[in-house]
Structure 1
Amino acid sequence: MEGSPGSPLDGISEDLRRIAALLGAVADDPSAEGARDELESISAELRVLITRHFGARRRAAHGQGARGAILAHLQSKTGQWVEGQELAAISGIQEWARRIRELRVESGYDIEEDGGRYRLVRAEPNADAAGKWGTANDIRRRPGSARDRILQFLIAEVGHVVTRDQLDYVAKIKEGSRRVRELRDEEGWPIESHIDVAFLTPGQYRLVSADEQDRRDPRQRKFPEELRHRVFERDAFTCQSCRRDRAIALTAGDSRYYLEVHHISAMAEQLDALPSEELNDPGNLVTLCHRCHSRETADFQRRRRSERGGQPITGQAETPVEPDD
């Protein structure tokens, strides 16, 4: 329909027929050299034509905008990888990647990412993930620093896996992972990542316990993450003292189980004086759970007190001495 004389639709039919003819020519030989460039040129011309004759894009109704278009497209290809450029074209906006993050964080959709590709694992959102969004949204509004808000979120979700996107949202910055490392290394919060457990992937974190007595040994920060992961993986993520892994610990009701690196020939303040090659030699390191590591440290302190008291040191104090309060 051409529209009345002088209307915005004047000449649209002629333009559409011309574009259709261009498309028809490409359809006759889509494998021809330059076919892609021709299609992109036609696409750009069509977008100009739409804007010229129909005006700027109207604000979409709730759920029918760019985010809704991206979700519908991903749902139509559930379980399949979709290129990011395809989602950009579907959404028609420059901030399409932000809409994917919103679908993950706010709506609880399980969307995987791999080198610019995206895959919707399940067509329906995860109720637990959506619940995390409510918690994150509440904490995001609170005063305080980014690190404070991240800690509040981790405590609210203690024992549960949270993602980098959720932490960035709560923190209002793109350095959520850095703040997590600070909380772990500087304050001793027992926060696990893919370095510590096999079931976590990069960008996932879990606060094991919010109890003060479960804080990490502060000297754990002396061991680089890559080294810790090598030691844990070598020892099958199993404590080499009590021989428990996570599954065994959970079955026994120990939800506070987590791993630490233990130096075989040096303990506590002795680590500060070790040269780097001796400190970070995997042959000198072994995997212990936090409970066993704390016990080893307490035993060492008892031996030191016995030594100062002139008693012989035979692996353990002959008469156990309780640690000082």
Structure 2
Amino acid sequence: MTLTDTPGHHLDDLEQRLEEALRLVRNTPRTDLTAIRWLETAAKLGDLLAGVREASAEIRQELLGGARTALLAYLRQHVGETVPAHELEGVSGIREWARRVRELRAMGWAIDCLGAGQEAPYCLSDDHLDETVALSDELISGIKGAKPRERLIEYLLHLSPWPVAASQLERVAGVPTWRDDLRALVREGWLIQSRDDDPSIPPGFYRLARIEDLPG
């Protein structure tokens, strides 16, 4: 799925709120600015920026699913790098993004906080989970997406590069029509492979090929 597939009103809303915020700043006097005037301006700006976050989160939801999935995808694309806190907040589209990072840690990901305080950066030091952790029942029970598609995306992101049995994917999806959801993800551009694509994959298994090949 590309941004052009995202419902247009989310992007329109994002653009509108950014334009309103810019207009608000431009109309703020550069001279004789009083504390009271600035408080009113800052309050309006805060409301607009909250709307920006909400619109961004809607787009993220359409493309990736939950905030935790987006954070995992971004960190895996930047493994070994120092990632600023404000980038992670932007990626997640929620204020509680640090809680989602802690959840990823609890699920086995080696994510280090490089400092103290809310502005401390983070670093993912390992680019994949240990295979025993990735294939555990505990990981499956931790997948909580609202839709089968969202649960499949997150689970495959956790698993890559390990192949996973069809029976596990059905458990995660929670619906008998999970193969339809999987095919829809492939049509959107997700590189989900089977034995037909790679002979090294066991029969009846699937694998998200490479994190760097996320739909673009």
TM-score range, shorter chain: 0.3 to 0.5
Higher relative contact order structure (alpha carbons within 8 Å, sequence separation ≥ 6): 2
Higher helix share: 2
What's the TM-score, normalizing by structure 1? Answer: 0.26
